[in-house]
Amino acid sequence: MDTLYKRPLRAPFRAGPVTSGDQLLLRGLALLSALLLVVTILFPLYSMLAKSFHDASGLFIGLENFQRYFSEASLYRAVSNSFVIAGMATLISLLLAFLYGYGLTRTCMPFKPLFRVVSLIPLLAPSLLPAISLVYFFGNQGVAKELLMGHSIYGPIGIVLGLVIWVFPSALMILMTSLSMTDARLYEAASVLKAGPIRTFFTVTLPGVKYGLISAAFVVFTLTLTDFGVAKVIGGQYNVLATDLFKQVIGQQNFQMGAVVGLMLLLPAILAFFVDRYARRKQVAITGARAVPYSPKPHALRDRFFLLYCSLIGCLLIAMLGMAAYASFVTFWPYDQTLSLKNYQFDMMDGGGWAAFYNSLQMALLTAVFGTLFIFLTAYVSERCHGWRPVLNLIGGLTLLPMAVPGMVLGLAYIFFFNAPDNPLNGFYGGMTIMVISTIVHYYTVSHLTAVTAIKQMDPEIEAVGASLKVPQYRTFCRVSLPLCLPAVLDISTYLFSTAMTTISAVIFLYSPDTFLASIAMLHMEGAGDIAPSAAMAMVIVLTSTSVRLLHWLLTRRLSARLQRWKGA
């Protein structure tokens, strides 16, 4: 063994690591992100929590607001109503989506891509749209009123139906992921062991998608529990939490009680969030990386059954959209069935007119641009910044939190925080900025996870190679990391754009007369009894979302051609 040489004396003494310029930049960005997330997520939620323990004059009164809430039957009845509605809607939509997803993943029926596209229809418009369609189908003048056998669509039946349609794509997407992840070898094993189809279903299929079902159930439950649009249009006299929250805050300007209702919505949502996270982790754990993808074999009877079933559901979804589209052109439903563009003269209605639509476009664009930029950069920083655990953990927690916060609660929290007279940021209140911020925050988690997945898929040593070649990290980011993540960036911006076009829940509390949005205009027109113009606005939104998704599809196709070249033939 060689003798070690004495420490050379000419070397300067250093106490600790010299942070590189790259890391300094990353840390600066991490700090900025953390700060912005704290201000836009944590502070508002805290303000809401605080508000629920104070009275109108700002005096701390402990649990008095809660006592009042639970002592008024008309208020707390909304809690049980909401849970009943959400529970039923969840059950039905899970069943329908499971069968639909099964058809798409486990059978050889034809037209699968078409059915996939059709299933996305409800995502193209605010949740008011299914409700409006239901009014045209089953309302007093509805074309299929008889089907309800004398029951009124205004009330629980209508809410559940509307919610089922609206959450169908969300349930389907989760279930399909889980259905397509099951290991084919389990089925081979089952058939070798001579298990019949029913036994196989209960011993292989169901356990395989168990966590997918749990995850879907809780996601859908939260969505249905906290949705406002459907209950607003078709709820009639049936009180639910979301509409109650609106009544308290906007109708009676009773912010303290609003905060209490907001907490009623927030708590189950947070619980559901943790169950969902747990289920997703389990799902990943039971499907190892070496699973063999299942590819179904033709089976005439089964395939025909699912073709029939999916066609039925598909037709219902198309009919939902088609009815609203048709009604939007009818001059005066039901008495003057001539077709005209009268209902598209939004400037003659409540709700901000065409300007609302242009506002929506503007907001969606700003959300997509700034949201993608911020979300992707934050995800990159949190993945690539070394050390600084507390700051990165804070970012990690805050990026997951928005998924557990219902939109209305977020909007309410924003009122409390940004409208406080002593908040230096209260200039944002009522402006476009705050709506853009709230929309980004509301849809943060999904976008963040998309970004993180893409970044994790990149070779973790790309930046290290860059550093060893003395290339600043921002350059490597622009030349390599960003181009590699472009598909994810496109996905995120499209997602943000289309959700911004259709969102109601958070912005309902934040718009001002100058910043009316198309979705809010729908709500107002419907509220003033102008249902057909509301349907017409929905059509404009649908057209916009569809165009954007089409554009996304075209871009992704071109991009994937390039990616294929990178990956090699």
Partner 1 sequence: MSQAHSLDLFSDQLSEGPAVDGGAAQMHRTPSPPYLQVFDLVKKYGTFSALDGVSLAIAAGEFISFLGPSGCGKTTLLRAIAGLDFQTSGSLYQDGADISWLPPDQRDFGIVFQSYALFPNLTVAENIAYGLENQGTKKHQIAERVAGLLNNVGLPGAEKRFPGQLSGGQQQRVALARALAPSPNLLLLDEPLSALDARVRVHLRREIKALQHRLGITTIMVTHDQEEAMTMADRIVVMNQGRIEQIGTPREIYENPVSVFVAQFVGTINLLPFTPCGPDTVEVAGLKFRCPHSGRHKGTGGVLAIRPEDIECTDVHDHDANCIDVRVESSEFLGATMRLKLVQGPDLALIADVPIRALRGSDIRPGQAMRVRLDAERIRLFDEAGNC
Partner 2 sequence: MKVSLAIPEKTGNKKYAAALLAALASLSASAEQAELTVYTALEANDLKKYADRFNEDHPDIKINWVRDSTGIITAKLLAEKENPRADVIWGLAGTSLLVLSDQGMLQPYAPVGVEKLAKGFRDANDPPAWTGMDAWVAALCVNRYEMEKNGLPVPKSWKDLLDPVYKGHVIMPNPASSGTGYLDVSSWLQLFGEDEGWKYMDGLHANISRYTHSGSKPCKLAATGETAIGVSYAYRAAKLKNQGAPLDVVVPEEGVGWELEASAIVKGTHNLDAAKKLMDWSVSLRANELYNEGYAVVALPGVAKPVAHFPPEVTERMIENDFSWAAANRARILEQWSSRYDAKSEAE
**Alpha-carbon span 428 to 405, nearest angstrom:** 21
Task: Write 335-343 long-range contacts (CB < 8 A, 24+).
Answer: 343/530, 343/532, 343/533, 343/535, 343/536
- By CB under 8 A, residue 10 contacts partner 1: yes
Given the complex with partner 2, which of 159 and 548 has the nearer CB atom? Answer: 159
Q: Of the candidates 367, 422, 495, 69, which has an alpha carbon nearest to the alpha carbon of residue 245? A: 69
Which residue among 199, 304, 475, 558 contacts partner 1 (CB under 8 A)? Answer: 475
Give the burial class of 366: count Cβ atoms within 10 A of its Cβ; 0-12 exposed, 13-18 middle, 19 or more buried: buried
Q: Which neighbouring-strand residues pair with 60? A: 54
Which residue among 449, 480, 555, 559 contacts partner 1 (CB under 8 A)? Answer: 480
- By CB under 8 A, residue 341 contacts partner 2: no
Given the complex with partner 1, which of 296 and 472 has the nearer CB atom? Answer: 472
Given the complex with partner 2, which of 141 and 560 has the nearer CB atom? Answer: 141
| Least separation in angstroms between CB 251 and partner 2 | 5
Which residue among 12, 58, 150, 390 contacts partner 1 (CB under 8 A)? Answer: 12
443-467 per-residue burial string, b: 16 or more CB within 10 A, e: under 16: bbbbbbbbbbebbeebeeebbeebb
| Least separation in angstroms between CB 488 and partner 1 | 14
Which residue among 252, 340, 453, 560 contacts partner 2 (CB under 8 A)? Answer: 252
Name the segment binding partner 2 (CB under 8 A); options: 82-90, 217-225, 348-356, 549-557.
348-356
- By CB under 8 A, residue 393 contacts partner 1: no
- By CB under 8 A, residue 527 contacts partner 2: yes
- By CB under 8 A, residue 237 contacts partner 2: yes
Using only the alpha carbons of the chain, give its radius of gyration: 26
Contacts (CB under 8 A) with partner 2, residues 91-110? none
- By CB under 8 A, residue 351 contacts partner 2: yes
Given the complex with partner 1, which of 15 and 192 has the nearer CB atom? Answer: 15
**Alpha-carbon span 34 to 490, nearest angstrom:** 24
Contacts (CB under 8 A) with partner 2, residues 69-88? 72, 74, 77
The answer to whether 138 and 88 have CB atoms below 8 angstroms apart is no
- By CB under 8 A, residue 484 contacts partner 1: yes
Which partner in partner 2, partner 1, none is near 27 (CB below 5 to 8 A by kind)? none
Place of tokens 């911004």: 500
The answer to whether 305 and 313 have CB atoms below 8 angstroms apart is no
Here the tokens at position 179 are: 């259905």
Given the complex with partner 2, which of 333 and 428 has the nearer CB atom? Answer: 333
- By CB under 8 A, residue 239 contacts partner 2: yes
Given the complex with partner 2, which of 158 and 169 has the nearer CB atom? Answer: 158
- By CB under 8 A, residue 20 contacts partner 1: yes
Question: Residues near 450 by Cβ (< 8 Å), separated by ≥ 6?
Answer: 488, 491, 492, 495
- The Cα diameter of the chain in Å comes to 102
- By CB under 8 A, residue 127 contacts partner 2: no
| Least separation in angstroms between CB 349 and partner 2 | 6
| Least separation in angstroms between CB 3 and partner 1 | 8
Here the tokens at position 288 are: 């190892």
The answer to whether 452 and 444 have CB atoms below 8 angstroms apart is no
| Least separation in angstroms between CB 469 and partner 1 | 3
Q: Of the candidates 224, 495, 534, 121, which has an alpha carbon nearest to the alpha carbon of residue 351? A: 534
> What's the residue count for the chain?
569
**Alpha-carbon span 21 to 29, nearest angstrom:** 12
Please name the helix (run of DSSP H) or strand (run of DSSP E) that holds residue 75, with its range, or none.
Answer: helix 73-106
Using CB under 8 A as the criterion, what x/- string covers residues 23-52 for binding partner 1?
Answer: x-----------------------------
Residue 104: strand, helix, or coil: helix
Which residue among 348, 465, 550, 554 contacts partner 2 (CB under 8 A)? Answer: 348
Which partner in partner 2, partner 1, none is near 338 (CB below 5 to 8 A by kind)? none
- By CB under 8 A, residue 250 contacts partner 2: yes
Which partner in partner 1, partner 2, none is near 565 (CB below 5 to 8 A by kind)? partner 1
Q: Which neighbouring-strand residues pair with 183? A: 293
| Least separation in angstroms between CB 427 and partner 2 | 12
Given the complex with partner 1, which of 14 and 194 has the nearer CB atom? Answer: 14
**Alpha-carbon span 435 to 424, nearest angstrom:** 17
- Between strands 330-332 and 336-339, the pairing is antiparallel
The answer to whether 126 and 245 have CB atoms below 8 angstroms apart is no
**Alpha-carbon span 330 to 327, nearest angstrom:** 5
**Alpha-carbon span 455 to 318, nearest angstrom:** 37
Name the segment binding partner 1 (CB under 8 A); options: 65-73, 131-139, 244-252, 456-464.
456-464
In single-letter form, the type of residue at position 526 comes to E
Place of tokens 């939620």: 45
The answer to whether 357 and 346 have CB atoms below 8 angstroms apart is yes
Site size for partner 2, by CB under 8 A?
46
Write out the residues near partner 1 by the rule CB under 8 A.
1-2, 4-5, 7-8, 10-23, 386, 459, 461-462, 464-472, 475, 479-480, 483-484, 565-569
Write out the residues near partner 2 by the rule CB under 8 A.
72, 74, 77, 135, 139-141, 152, 154, 228, 231-232, 235-237, 239, 242-244, 246-247, 250-253, 255, 332-336, 347-351, 421, 512-514, 524, 527-531
